[in-house]
Amino acid sequence: MKSKSVLWVTILALGAMFTGCTKDPVANLTAEESRIYITDHDSTVNFSTFRTFSISDSVAVINDGRATKEITATDQAFINAVKAEMQAKGFAMVSKGANPDLGINVSRIYNTSTGIVSYRNYYDMYGGFYDPYYWGYGGYGYYSPYSYATYSIREGALSIDLLNLKNAATSNRINVIWTGLIRGSGIFNSSTAADQVKMLFNQSAYLKNQ
């Protein structure tokens, strides 16, 4: 028989858990504070050997593995921001027909994750939310017809890739030599595109031709 003291310990523990969640500082982050900026590069590459670049006039949209191309006002803002940062680093922008040293792709990436939460496992582990003896139904088992719930989480990210086009024709291969990735809330916002791109380039001091 489960005692009432155990019941109240369980209730207090659950209350503390939910109360703790409301005080979680992560839940109160602004969109800007939630963003993560990740950069990586080929450490064998000397970026000062590259002089020119060209950037795609559209954005690749990768939606759960399916790729299309789009150009919205926000997409254009990100493209313009990348152009400005590259030129500030000393690279000259040329058309894609002028044999640029570097090619740049900008991509919006969306991924949907789904799953199932089993409430039955929770009840079996913790004995449910109430003590049947307390309500005068000793020996009764706890049953809920709502044992499962599904969830779906949709995440978005923005990726910028620098491609080495110098030797592509002779090697039959295009190497990605730098990647910048932005994750978090409110990424796809034209008013903050320039600041977001600047954050990526600021943490890539080696990416320059000066």
What does the pLDDT read at residue 104? 95
What does the pLDDT read at residue 65? 82
| Number of domains within the chain | 1
Sequence length of the chain is 210
Q: Locate tokens 């990424």: which residue? A: 187
Residue 107 placed within a domain: yes
167 exposure class (CB count in 10 Å sphere: 0-12, 13-18, 19+): exposed
Query: Widest CA span of the chain, in angstroms?
Result: 84
Residue 210 placed within a domain: no
Residue 42's SS3 state is: coil
The pTM score is 0.71
Query: Residue 197 has which token pair?
Result: 């791109």
Instruction: Profile the chain (210 residues) by mean pLDDT over runs of 10 residues.
Output: 39 44 56 86 94 95 89 97 97 94 94 72 50 60 58 85 88 89 92 97 92
CATH number of the CATH domain containing 178: 3.30.160.670
Q: Domain range spanning residue 69?
A: 4-202
Residue 95 placed within a domain: yes
What does the pLDDT read at residue 41? 93
